[in-house]
């Protein structure tokens, strides 16, 4: 039996962006134009030109700064639309995000205003864009192996070569992202393939997110977050890095540590499943997190409903369920 009062909103991170995302909301929600105008004013560039690939600007969507701001802005538009038309705050058990998605979740939970969140995401995006240019880092998705087996191999790799490579994202039981300095990563990938790992997909970044290598960026972000006056939240926020609910006064340290900490999406979804949450709404572009949640739920033999908000047809599915 589905309990409508145990709905969790999940928010995607970088990588979920695509050209034309949010088109269904352009005329549907007045906040789309308002929020994207404010984001454009802050960027001093027309963000809608970038998102909808006007005047040849679409290539910028792959830039860390623009992708983060556009994903956050669209996620905020959609979450507001859900709360304005479909859901009540009391209907939502919790909000949680995947990396950048934490900022969308915190906005939806009431911790930050939209303007505060936008400034934060811009600052974070700039820091990470600069690190992306300076850090010779690399990230890669490892498919088809379990966490413990991969971790054991990385321990052996470190022991043999005295080089450190980290598990950055535990996305589902057979999709894990590793991260580190490019030289070390290339050697590690070679080692993993020699030891039976068959599928490795390098990601299009030159940064080592969610590892101790991000310590300098993490400290700068933490100092910035600490200077912002938070609001009283009205929806609980669950962190996929610290693995727990966060009090208002803890948010600055959670966001600071997020860049150096592993995202454990598996453990996050397992927590909600154990709390008998069985309705998940992916709030933002694409459907990446929905696939991860479904595989985690299936592995745990849990019956759940997953709704997307990427298209209007997806919203109709949610509307029909709620009515």
Which sequence positions are flagged as catalytic?
99, 210
Q: Which H or E run includes 250?
A: none
| Residue 103 neighbours by CB under 8 Å, 6+ apart | 72, 97, 112, 117, 120, 121, 124, 255
Q: Residue 266: which H helix or E strand, with range? A: helix 265-274
CB atoms within 10 A of CB 314: 17
Contact yes or no for 221/179 (Cβ under 8 A): no
Q: For residue 150, how many other CB atoms are within 10 A of its CB?
A: 19
The first and second tokens of residue 198, run together, are 């068959």
Distances (CA, A) of 69 to 12, 17, 285: 12, 10, 13
Give the angle subtended at the CA of 76 by the CAs of 71 and 79, to the nearest 5°. 120
3-state secondary structure of 287: coil
Find where tokens 């956050």 sit. 72
């Amino acid at each position: 039996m589905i309990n409508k009062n145990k709905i969790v909103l999940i928010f995607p991170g970088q990588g979920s962006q695509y050209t034309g995302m949010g088109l269904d909301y352009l005329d549907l929600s007045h906040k789309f134009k308002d929020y994207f105008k404010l984001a454009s004013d802050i960027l001093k560039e027309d963000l809608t030109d970038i998102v909808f690939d006007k005047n040849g600007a679409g290539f910028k969507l792959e830039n860390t700064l623009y992708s983060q701001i556009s994903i956050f802005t669209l996620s905020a538009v959609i979450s507001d639309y859900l709360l304005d038309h479909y859901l009540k705050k009391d209907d939502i058990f919790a909000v949680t995000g995947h990396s950048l998605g934490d900022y969308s979740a915190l906005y939806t939970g009431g911790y930050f205003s939209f303007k505060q969140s936008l400034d934060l995401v811009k600052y974070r995006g700039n820091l990470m864009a600069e690190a992306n240019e300076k850090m010779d880092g690399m990230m890669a998705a490892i498919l088809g192996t379990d966490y413990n087996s991969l971790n054991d191999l990385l321990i052996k790799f470190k022991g043999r070569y005295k080089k450190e490579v980290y598990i950055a994202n535990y996305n589902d039981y057979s999709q894990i992202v590793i991260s580190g300095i490019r030289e070390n990563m290339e050697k590690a990938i070679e080692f993993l393939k020699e030891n039976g790992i068959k599928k490795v997909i390098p990601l299009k970044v030159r940064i080592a997110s969610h590892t101790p290598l991000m310590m300098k960026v993490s400290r700068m972000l933490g100092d910035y977050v600490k200077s912002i006056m938070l609001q009283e939240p009205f929806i609980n926020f669950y962190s996929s890095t610290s693995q727990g609910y966060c009090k208002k006064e803890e948010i600055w340290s959670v966001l600071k540590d997020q860049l150096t900490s592993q995202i454990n999406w598996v453990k996050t979804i397992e927590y909600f499943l154990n709390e008998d949450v069985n309705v998940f709404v992916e709030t933002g572009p694409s459907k990446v997190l929905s696939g991860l949640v479904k595989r985690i739920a299936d592995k745990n033999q849990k019956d759940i409903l997953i709704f997307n908000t990427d298209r209007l047809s997806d919203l109709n599915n949610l509307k029909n369920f709620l009515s």
